[in-house]
Amino acid sequence: MLTAVSAVIGTLVVAFVLWQLWTKNQLTSEKWEPFLTANLWKTYVLPGVQGTLTAAAVSLVLALALGLALGVGRLATTRPIRWVCTVIVEFFRAVPVLIMMIFAYFFYAAYDVFPSKHLALAGVITGLTLYNGSVIAEIVRAGVHSLPRGQSEAAASLGLSWW
């Protein structure tokens, strides 16, 4: 019932917005023509999509590796390793991603780590990798801890080590 009410309210809001745009002549073809030019797509939209997909793909691979390493580190029996991994995970989960991107951008710019052409991409990849790697580490840790105790006992009876 609540979903149906939400759908009706959402439809009414969209209809109201479209009606307001229509009455103020904002839906005429002349107003929307700049968004259909080839120059806009070649200069802004397609390079933006390419940068987004590149950042997503690279940060996905790096975040999986970082998350797996930190997740395993959080499960370590050695207290210093577990403590360091916990601090890293909790810190990067708490800091907003945009702030990490901005700090990484200016850090890379200050120390000439990357060419200026790639600074923005490197900052975005760094922020996404650190945050998503920390989230993946929590998923790994929680997944291992969610296994029933009988699973580890069964593995030990088969001669498998704790890891």
Span of 41-55, 59-73, 117-131, 148-162 with lowest mean pLDDT: 148-162
- Residue 160, pLDDT > 70, answer yes
42-153: CATH class: mainly alpha
Mean pLDDT of the chain: 94
Q: What are the residue boundaries of the structural domains of the chain, listed by start? A: 42-153
Residue 61 to residue 38: CA distance in whole angstroms: 33
Helix axes 119-145, 46-74, angle to 10 degrees: 40
Question: Residue 162: its pLDDT value, please?
Answer: 67
Q: What is the pLDDT of residue 156?
A: 87
Residue 19's pLDDT band (boundaries 50, 70, 90)?
Answer: very high
The pLDDT tens digits for 39-90 are 999 999 999 999 999 999 999 999 999 999 999 999 999 999 999 999 999 9
Report, as an integer, the average pLDDT of 21-43: 91
Q: Cα 18 to chain center, whole Å? A: 32
Break the chain down into helix, strand, coil percent, rounded to 5: 85, 0, 15
Q: With a threshold of 0.85, does the pTM exceed it? A: no
